[in-house]
Amino acid sequence: MKALTICQPYAELICTGEKRVENRTWPTRYRGPLVIHAGKSRQWLTIDHTTNHRGDVDTNGFYVNDLDFGAIVARCVLIECLRVERIQSGEYDEQYPWLRAHQHVNGPWCWVLNEVTRLRATPYRGAQGLFSVPDELLRGALVNKDLEGMPA
């Protein structure tokens, strides 16, 4: 299955359903099942250094110690890849009434994600661009029974 590495806390925001759009500088023609891989980098974390017994807190409200890094964390369906200018012009308002107002629409290319399901975090080395993850690895990460027959 195709996979995409996304830095934390954005991978976690996708897992929670808060982030339904991934922004990229490049488009893709691929549509279909997509695995979300949380990258190892911590460069995108904005830390509030008010530490308590659970550790530092990212400004998105996540305890850094609770985030997964360098692991497959979710499965979703990539349904669209749209230019941000066309979204902002209202071109997709009828098809995706929520999209223009979505706080994570930054572009220049907006990858619209649907049917997000959190997976059991499974350590895996990420890569740039779209890359492939073996089906056998994903079957061990399934949290929901209804995903057992998911396409590769």
Q: How confident is the model at residue 61 (pLDDT cuts 50, 70, 90)?
A: confident
CATH value at residue 32 = 2.30.130.30
Residue ranges with strand state E in 70-142 = 71-83, 109-123, 131-132
Q: Is the peptide bond before 134 cis (omega within 30 degrees of 0)?
A: no
Q: Tell me, yes or no, whether 152 lies in a domain.
A: no
Mean pLDDT of the chain: 87
Question: CA-CA distance, 112 to 68, in Å (whole number)?
Answer: 22
Compute the average pLDDT of residues 47-62: 66
pLDDT digits (tens, 9 = 90+) for 78-135: 999 999 999 999 999 999 999 999 999 999 999 999 999 999 999 999 999 999 999 8
pLDDT on residue 48 = 61
Tokens 């998105």 — which residue?
Answer: 60
Q: Tell me, yes or no, whether 114 lies in a domain.
A: yes
Q: Tell me, yes or no, whether 138 lies in a domain.
A: yes
What is the domain extent for residue 132?
2-147
- Among 59-63, 65-69, 72-76, 128-132, the minimum mean pLDDT is found in 59-63
pLDDT on residue 41 = 82
What pTM was estimated for this model as a whole? Answer: 0.83
Number of folded domains that form the chain = 1
Question: CA-CA distance, 128 to 152, in Å (whole number)?
Answer: 20
Q: Flag whether pLDDT at 145 surpasses 60.
A: no
